A and B are shown apart, each in its own frame.
Chain A
Amino acid sequence: MIPCTDFIPAYSELFKYLEERGAPQAVAAFWEYLADRFLQNLRELAATQGLRGCWEYWARTLTEEAADFTMELDEEAGEFRIVMHQCPSKALLLRCSYLEPYPDYCRHCDILYRRVLEPLGYEYEIDLSECDQARCILSVRKKGQAQFPPTRGAGES
């Protein structure tokens, strides 16, 4: 069997395969499919519990993935943010000398979560400017709310 710990290399190889078969648009089309098919749990949590649902979803997934992150929820301000200090997926791909990661690997986090959250009335942003170091910042807020200050959050190295 393929253990769940090998899913990330599989994911990266799948993106490469899809691009080879059908250009970058084929990869984006797959991400949209995956958002619709696989992220029902995030959709339900966000739809029924709002930003608290986002917290619940990522608290479980990121803990299971042993990620290095700071997560903040400010319900009064209507904001939720994840500062990823070291993404376990990207870090794994970067440290495996025998794997060639899909160059645009991190963009799946843009398309997948945006596709779930924006129809529910949220603004979704992800800063991938440091994703080559396995770092990013993801933020979700109710439309019309003020933004988080542009820092990298508590505990940022």
Chain B
Amino acid sequence: MAKRVMRRTAGEGLYYHPDFHGALSASLDYLERHYGVEGVREFLRRFARACYAPLVAGLQERGLVALEEHFREVYRFEGGEAQITRTEETLVVKVRACPAVQHMRRRGYPVAHLWGETLRTVGEALCEGTPYAVELCVYDPEGGGSIECFYRRRR
């Protein structure tokens, strides 16, 4: 019978645990079942306002370039194929297939019925109180492909 010891230190590896997408998906299903669509949206809004407070501040101060940098880093890290185009007043994020959805499909985790709200509601929460707005123009629930359009609101 074996005796084994494993010692790891925090600096040894990259923090990348994509199964968390499956846990978030299960969480959204739970919220929908118990608190409805509005419960899912309210939770995601609160999360985004808390977790992305520095990003929202960046959007206020530096404009859409702050969001562009954020999304480039997210899709570089997660390995997604994203086409990101920015003009002075618009930012378009086109994703052929969402890396989170792809991972969940591969691992057999159910993809939440309201997974698209992680784009729609979070995007709206990022823009709240800023001169910008967002529209989720395209969303494919099967593969998670999407087109998000951020733009400056009309004055």
A138: min CB distance to chain B, Å: 14
B138 within 8 A of A: no
Interface contact A65-B15, CB-CB below 8 Å: yes
Interface contact B7-A9, CB-CB below 8 Å: no
Interface contact B16-A30, CB-CB below 8 Å: no
Interface contact A14-B43, CB-CB below 8 Å: yes
Contacts A1-B119, A4-B100, A10-B24 given; indicate if A66 touches B39 (C-beta within 8 A).
no
Contacts A74-B3, A98-B50, A99-B50 given; indicate if A1 touches B20 (C-beta within 8 A).
no
The CA-CA distance from A88 to B153 in the complex, in Å, is 39
- A interface residues, tally (CB under 8 Å): 49
Interface contact A33-B30, CB-CB below 8 Å: yes
Interface contact B8-A67, CB-CB below 8 Å: yes
B window 21-75: CB within 8 A of A: 21-24, 26-27, 29-31, 34-35, 39, 42-43, 46-47, 50-51, 53-54, 74-75
In the bound complex, residues from chain B placing their C-beta under 8 Å from that of A14 are 27, 31, 43, 47
- B interface residues, tally (CB under 8 Å): 54
The contact string, 1 if C-beta is below 8 Å from chain B, for chain A 12-55, is 01101100011000000010011001100000000000000001
A65: min CB distance to chain B, Å: 5
B window 1-24: CB within 8 A of A: 1-24
In the bound complex, residues from chain B placing their C-beta under 8 Å from that of A30 are 27, 30
Interface contact A66-B78, CB-CB below 8 Å: no
Q: Find the residue from B6, B31, B144 having the highest chain A CB count within 10 A.
A: B6
Segment of A56-64, A113-121, A123-131, A139-147 in the binding face = A56-64
Binding site for A on B (CB under 8 A): 1-24, 26-27, 29-31, 34-35, 39, 42-43, 46-47, 50-51, 53-54, 74-75, 77-78, 80, 95, 98-100, 109, 118-119, 122, 144
Binding site for B on A (CB under 8 A): 1-11, 13-14, 16-17, 21-22, 30, 33-34, 37-38, 55, 59, 61-76, 85-86, 88, 91, 98-100, 154-155
Other contacts beyond A9-B50, A62-B8: 11, CB < 8 A: A55-B4, A61-B19, A63-B13, A66-B11, A69-B8, A70-B6, A70-B7, A73-B3, A75-B3, A85-B9, A88-B15
